[in-house]
Chains A and B, each alone.
Chain A
Amino acid sequence: MQILKVENLSKSFAGSGEVVVDVSFEINEGEVIAVIGPSGSGKSTLLRCLTLLEKIDYGTIKVAGETMVETTPEGRVVYAPEDRLRKIRLRLGMVFQNFNLFPHFSVLRNITEAPIHVRGLSPAAAREEAEKLLAKIGLADKADAYPYQLSGGQSQRVAIARALAMKPDILFFDEPTSALDPELTGEVLKVIRRLAAERMTMLVVTHEMGFAREVADRVIFMDKGQIVEEGPAERIFGDPENERTKNFLKNFNSNYGTV
């Protein structure tokens, strides 16, 4: 089943011009997509458009067949009505680079607050689900801790659990390990790897090339707002066709070692 379909998506910001240019792709259920590319290539902006954090300037986004936003033949961008948008939004989960945990809530409450007040779960049921998720990410003993007491890696794992508690159809990751000390990235990648093994549909913007190659079914390479090349991870990393992809991976390998 198709979870996400993006057609001709464009987004520009005053002052920085077009940041995302005519991007089209789709994601099927159970797929893991890695989006790679140089800084400023529009990867994060693309993610923010898909999660309704930015309004698009042109294009169509469909989530599980439902139109989230479309552009009329006259070029007018039309979003679904607010109530439908709210429902669509619940299908999308997001993990931020800087975690964005709620500092005034305990770890447990960070995870249960939205299920209780948005999904309408009973506090007991939400707690039970949260405890299962905490066990899964290896932080069962941190339920009563506050975010300031966690390491970056632990914070990001909690943020993943918080997103999963809403039972999204697709989970977006915006450079989930970029704010972490190198020795802490492993524990976060391990959790994402485990989700991939469970066939969770995911789109991961990342600079971790080794991880992208290992976990992603498909890789999208973006540069200057455009999708330059897209294909199976093995092919993109093993035998890239486009010059820009080749250069990016070559520079990357010479800077960080071969992936």
Chain B
Amino acid sequence: MSVFQVPTDALRLLTLLLNGVMTSLQIFFLTLLFALPLGLLTALGRMSSHKWISLPLRLYILIMRGTPLLLQLIFIYFAPFYMLPPGLKFSLHRFTAAIIAFSLNYAAYFAEIYRGGIESIPAGQYEAAAVLGFTRSQTFFKIILPQVVKRILPPISNEVITLVKDTALVQILGISELFRIAKNESSRIFSTTPLFVAGMFYLFLNWIVTKIFEQAEKKLSYYR
């Protein structure tokens, strides 16, 4: 009856899934690395009073938040080959395409979170800084941004938790991340155990993410 022979099969499954976890984590960290700063730039541009900066960025945010990430993955992977004129055609590495799509998509969400945070800082903070003679960039980086970070931690943690789970979407490009490996293994041994274990991995990763954000919030709770 037993399809599952402890310990060799369990060990094999864990090794397989851990490989998938590594791929998922790569996507996770690279996306954060690119999307967090890109989101900030997008937010600042989105708030610009120059229409030719803010309008295109509003459109970008609309498209990124308004269409499925799954579709964006496929589009970015195939577009350079199918949509560029002959001679300019090229093929993206599937992993590269995944990172580009994820970074662009998450930057749009982060941008709106940053914007909300920045706009929630009272005008008096800018005015006090201006009267004290701080330059615009000093005001932003010393006075405004630290306060923004504290306010946006909860919504950012939401997005980061979603990102852990969204990494499963890259399987549409044939990348062997945690979910795809688990699914294939499930079919192969005709058991839901691999999927269940994969679920435990996602849960564990997000437990860590939650803990990290709790710590960060605690660290910034020294002021109100």
Bound complex: CA A118 to CA B139 (Å) = 11
Asked if A100 and B127 make an inter-chain contact with CB atoms under 8 angstroms apart, the answer reads: yes
Distance of B45 from chain A, by nearest CB (Å): 23
Say if the beta carbon of A96 comes within 8 Å of chain B. yes
Are the C-beta atoms of B223 and A96 separated by less than 8 Å? Answer: no
List of B residues within 8 angstroms of A235 by Cβ: none
B132 at the interface (CB under 8 A from A): yes
Which among B125, B127, B143, B147 is the interface contact of A53 at CB below 8 angstroms?
B127
Which chain A residues border B147 with CB–CB below 8 Å?
A: 103-104
Residue pair A86, B133 in contact (C-beta under 8 Å) = yes
A118 and B131 in contact, given A103-B147, A146-B222 (Cβ under 8 angstroms): no
In whole angstroms, how far apart are the Cα atoms of A103 and B148 in the complex? 12
Q: Check if A114 sits within 8 Å of B130, measured CB to CB.
A: no
A114 touches B222 (CB 8 A): no
Over the window 85-117 of chain A, the binary record of Cβ atoms lying under 8 Å from chain B Cβ atoms (1 yes, 0 no) is: 010011011101010111110000000011001
Shortest distance between the CB of A252 and any CB in chain B (Å): 28
Is B22 engaged at the interface, CB distance under 8 Å to the other chain?
Answer: no
| B150 and A104 within 8 A (CB) | yes
Convert A147-158 into 0s and 1s, putting 1 for each residue whose CB lies closer than 8 angstroms to a CB of B: 110000000000
CB proximity to B under 8 Å, residues A47-104:
51-53, 86, 89-90, 92-94, 96, 98, 100-104
- Evaluate contact between B224 and A148: CB separation under 8 angstroms: yes
Q: Is A162 positioned at the interface, with any CB of B under 8 Å from its CB?
A: yes
Asked if A166 CB lies within 8 Å of chain B CBs, one says yes
Known: A104-B150, A104-B223, A113-B142. A96 touches B132 (CB 8 A): no
Complex-state Cα separation, A90 to B132, whole angstroms? 7
CB-CB under 8 A from A118, the residues of chain B are 132-134, 138
Within the complex, which residue of A89, A96, A148 is in contact with B127, where a contact is CB–CB below 8 Å?
Answer: A96
Interface residues of B in 120-153 (CB under 8 A from A): 122, 124-125, 127-128, 130-134, 138, 142-143, 146-147, 150
Considering the complex, give the chain A residue whose CB is closest to the CB of B138: A117
A154, chain B: closest CB distance, angstroms: 15
Residue-wise interface mask of A (127-165) relative to B, using a CB-CB cutoff of 8 A (1 in contact, 0 not): 000000000000000000011100000000000001100
**In the bound complex, what is the Cα–Cα distance between A53 and B124 (angstroms)?**
10
Are A166 and B222 interface neighbours, CB within 8 A? no
Docked pose: A119 CA to B132 CA in angstroms: 10
Partner of B130, one of A52, A119, A163: A52
> What are 19 A-B pairs with beta-carbon distances under 8 A?
A89-B131, A89-B133, A94-B127, A94-B128, A94-B131, A96-B124, A100-B128, A102-B128, A102-B143, A114-B132, A114-B133, A117-B134, A117-B138, A118-B132, A118-B134, A118-B138, A119-B133, A146-B223, A147-B223
The 8 closest A-B pairs by CB, nearest first: A100-B128, A100-B124, A114-B132, A118-B133, A148-B224, A94-B131, A146-B223, A104-B146
Question: A interface vs B, CB < 8 Å?
Answer: 51-53, 86, 89-90, 92-94, 96, 98, 100-104, 113-114, 117-119, 146-148, 162-163, 166
Q: Which residues of B contact A (CB under 8 A)?
A: 122, 124-125, 127-128, 130-134, 138, 142-143, 146-147, 150, 222-224
